[in-house]
Structure 1
Amino acid sequence: MASRLRLRGPAELLSAMPYLMGFHPTDSLVALGLRGSGLHLQLRGDLPDDHDAAAVLAEHYGRLFRRNAMDGAMLIGYGPPERTEPFLRAVGAAMTERGIAVLDLLRTHEGRYWSLLCEVPGCCPPEGRAFDPATSIAAAEATLAGLVALPDRAAVAATFAGPSGPALEAIEEAGNRANLRVLRLVAGRDPIGVRTAAVVAGRAALDAALACYATGHRLTDDEVAWLQVLLLVVDFRDRAWERLDRDVRRANGLAEAHRELWTDLVRRCEPSSVAPSATLLSYLSWRTGNGLHASLALDRALDADPGYSAAALMAEILARGLSPRQVPPIGRSRRRTTRRVAVRAPSFARSGPRSKLCPGAVRVFGDGGPGVSGGEGGPERPGLDEGRRTR
């Protein structure tokens, strides 16, 4: 979500931050990146536990800001001085070494704030300055803009939780029916025919699902389970990813339908099968500027399947702080001979005491995401959250 907020000094900035991040930060460092006079990047990370971790993270912040061509930085530490101030200064030094102007180092704790760069007692007294977000104009403007600040990161993560209780039992039963439907779909086909049939069925299901959410409706459990099963076929997963990327880039009005669809699937899919949907939601959130939701959806994907290669690709994109402008449009690789494909069975089965193996069910394994390169190195995840992008 893009928004316009006018921030008039440190108190207004601190009052607006929970809305820009999506929750009230604690024991955190928030780094704001500026290019010209505009705020273009917001990152939040937990405060490190020791000096060595602080040094590594400080360098990481500096590299992310340099890679994203930021020319200014505002750093905010949330917590007591002994934990925040050394880290604030280390990150500030890493920015300065890379030619990034550090506009201020702010620390806030228990309703007060301090500037580590201000040495004027009348401006920044030793006891700090009090501020009240409840009376802040910036907080009121953020609320009017539709931004919400939940109590903490865990509260935001809870909005991505999967089903439990009767809802879980219902989707598991729907999953059993979807598995039987798959068996009928693939009966008598060779591996190429299986992939073709899955892609055709998946595209039809995806078209119907987007039309459903575009008109304010939602899928039934059987429709959710059908998409959940088909998304385990990498060829269809890739086509769904391409469709998502194309619709968001073209701004054809379907971005919101995609958000509703993939969010609903993450909340309703069987937990062990959520990795494809959660990865696509992570990509959509990152592509539309909500890095926090991208990170939380990615957590769901990796919790479900730590080895899921498409999730590893998203992890690299987020860890490197890549902006959507730095990633080319998603498309199928033309080098089909380099693609490693195998058919394994069973693969639609779910883990846990209720899981049942379905002989003959298939999953097509590919070599990662659909033609996207995340840059050098491996999928490191430093635990950073990116807030909502602003204009």
Structure 2
Amino acid sequence: MTNHSEAAGAPGTEQVTLRNPAELAEALPYLLGFRPEDSIVLVALHRGRFGGRVRIGIPERPGDWPSVADEMARCLVSGCKRREGIPDGIVAFLCRDPKAHETGRQTMEHLRPLAQSLRTACGGLDVPVVETLCIADDHFWSYSCPVAECCPPDGTPLAASGTSVTAAAMTYAGIQVRRPLRETRARLAPWQTAAVAEQERALDAAAMALVPRILSGAPRAEIAGETLDLAQRVWRRFGHAPAGGDTLETDLRDDEQLAHDEAARLILGLQDRLTRDHAAEWMEGDEAPLALRLWRALARRCVGPYGEHAAAPLTLAGWVAWSLGDRVEAGEALDMALEADPRYVFARLLMEACSADLDPELVRRSLRKSREDRILAASETGSEGGGDVDVHGDVDSHGDGDGDGDGDGSGVGVRSGAGGVADVAVGPEGGSATGQAGAEESEESEESEDSRESSEARMMRALEAALRRRGPRRSGAGKGPAQAGAHATRRPQGRRRVGRQGSRRDG
């Protein structure tokens, strides 16, 4: 569920007055910052002004509608109560394109019980639903107006995109509509092209090359340094390409510049939690847009049985998008990360913070402090004296720092898919017969780990303190139906890795 507290764009600089259902329907994309698809949207009203709003995908099973309506109503009212006070009223929107051989009117009638569930749920919290609109097939219907002359049974056509008086007023006020959510998700979804087989073979080959190095006791810092060096070379390569804006065409060009073997090495390298934390520091300035393009490209390469590996690049994409001010893409990327791996703590943490409208500067400060600590440690000990320091700073070889108490969180889990070789999970707690090969390195760096707080632990502590200042967490935050941008139908995933006793819980 996406939970917002402000209008999209630059609210407060201009005032736009909406007088009727038609203008409400045309204003919805500007209120959210994107055109909702297959969505329930609730918008709070405070003394005639719009306040908080929540969105969730429409569940396919009508039996789920009452519980979803109850959860949305509680989420919106409790969030508004913490910020602006209890709303005076709520406007509800149901957005769905007709299915094959279905008319817009039939879609509207099919969703009527959902509209009633929303009215009942909000009324149960003593907040009336003042208007309920269904938007389908470029028409809108009002469930609240029974007058045919005002709201005809076949619906009222919506003005062409960007041509209405409402659109002009919103644009003048500086409020923009971004790309549809399906395009945002398409930029992050795994490939479905003829190149999938070749990318999967590259992932298998990279796994087969990496596992023996880990089992033979290769320093974790060495592997992490190689991953981060390669990542920097790739996103700098992106920066040298002709500028084309942040578009699907840019994604295609990035895909052409990223070799299959490079993508495979980066995807597997980012499964290490601390390597991922170091990569998250490319979050501002000229680095951030280029890093975001790389994380999108890597998420698209997590094909076949490597779907779960997408949690790391998707979480990084969500974090950088949030840091750059794009909460829409951030919510979608983090939601997709939790689809790939529901136990991924970093994604869940960022999801809750983003949904609560916290300032990403909290996370940026934590990452800057971690980087400063590494630089200080490197200057004090010298890189030649400590096995846990490389050109990017220290990459510790053990420690969990999950914050959820349910796993070690620091192993590198790798599988060989097409080759039929048994899956291998390597972590400090074991997981394979030879999994203790790196024990000496873990012991050597234990003192270093104890003396320096992990980036994730630092971020979790800062964000949880900020959430406590905001008030009680809303029910279900960051999981289940309360994930930002969640859809009732989840995209299918590849086979989950097996034999992962020592693999990460959070990535």
TM score, norm. by length of structure 2: 0.56
Tell me, yes or no, if the aligned pair for 1:12 and 1:138 is still in contact at 8 Å.
yes
Tell me, yes or no, if the aligned pair for 1:34 and 1:73 is still in contact at 8 Å.
yes
Deviations 1:64-85 (A, max 9, x none): 2134326463211247454434
- Who is 1:3 aligned against? 9
SS of 1:302 mapped into structure 2: helix
- Who is 2:313 aligned against? 277
Greater shift, 227-236 or 167-176, is seen at 167-176
Alignment of 1:190-269 (within 5 A): 193-194=219-220, 196-216=221-241, 218-241=257-280, 243=281, 247=283, 251-269=284-302
Higher CA-based Rg: 2
Q: Once the two structures are aligned, what percentage of the paired residues are identical?
A: 20
Deviations 1:111-130 (A, max 9, x none): 44344445777655666544
Describe the shift of the 1:166–1:133 C-alpha distance in structure 2 as closer, same or farther (beyond 3 A): closer
Tell me, yes or no, if the aligned pair for 2:43 and 2:92 is still in contact at 8 Å.
yes
Tell me, yes or no, if the aligned pair for 2:238 and 2:290 is still in contact at 8 Å.
yes
Describe the shift of the 1:350–1:13 C-alpha distance in structure 2 as closer, same or farther (beyond 3 A): farther
Deviations 1:24-46 (A, max 9, x none): 634x4222346784565451430
Tell me, yes or no, if the aligned pair for 1:18 and 1:25 is still in contact at 8 Å.
no
- Who is 1:14 aligned against? 25
Tell me, yes or no, if the aligned pair for 1:349 and 1:355 is still in contact at 8 Å.
no
- Who is 1:380 aligned against? 479
Pick from 391, 415, 429 the counterpart of residue 349 of structure 1: 415
Deviation at 1:157?
4.0
Tell me, yes or no, if the aligned pair for 2:41 and 2:54 is still in contact at 8 Å.
yes
Alignment partners' CA distance in 2, 1:155 and 1:311: 21
Describe the shift of the 1:377–1:139 C-alpha distance in structure 2 as closer, same or farther (beyond 3 A): closer
Report how many aligned residue pairs link the two structures: 365
Deviation at 1:228?
0.9
Pick from 286, 291, 295 the counterpart of residue 332 of structure 2: 295
- Structure 1: unaligned runs, 5 residues or longer: none
Deviation at 1:100?
5.4
Q: Which amino acid aligns with 2:65?
A: A
Deviation at 1:207?
3.5
Deviation at 1:56?
1.6
Pick from 74, 77, 81 the counterpart of residue 63 of structure 1: 74
Alignment partners' CA distance in 1, 2:303 and 2:200: 7
Tell me, yes or no, if the aligned pair for 1:210 and 1:261 is still in contact at 8 Å.
yes
Describe the shift of the 1:343–1:291 C-alpha distance in structure 2 as closer, same or farther (beyond 3 A): closer
SS of 1:382 mapped into structure 2: helix
Q: Which amino acid aligns with 1:349?
A: R
Alignment partners' CA distance in 1, 2:138 and 2:291: 39
Describe the shift of the 1:40–1:253 C-alpha distance in structure 2 as closer, same or farther (beyond 3 A): farther
Question: Structure with the greater relative contact order (CA < 8 A, sep ≥ 6): 1 or 2?
Answer: 1
TM score, norm. by length of structure 1: 0.69
Alignment of 1:104-115 (within 5 A): 104-115=131-142
Describe the shift of the 1:164–1:338 C-alpha distance in structure 2 as closer, same or farther (beyond 3 A): closer
- Is 1:84 equivalent to 2:111 in the alignment? yes
- Is 1:43 equivalent to 2:55 in the alignment? yes
Deviations 1:83-125 (A, max 9, x none): 4344334334544555657453223445443444457776556
Alignment partners' CA distance in 2, 1:41 and 1:107: 17
Alignment partners' CA distance in 2, 1:108 and 1:12: 12
Tell me, yes or no, if the aligned pair for 1:174 and 1:221 is still in contact at 8 Å.
yes
Tell me, yes or no, if the aligned pair for 1:108 and 1:114 is still in contact at 8 Å.
yes
Alignment partners' CA distance in 2, 1:343 and 1:148: 37
Pick from 190, 193, 202 the counterpart of residue 162 of structure 1: 190
- Who is 1:54 aligned against? 65
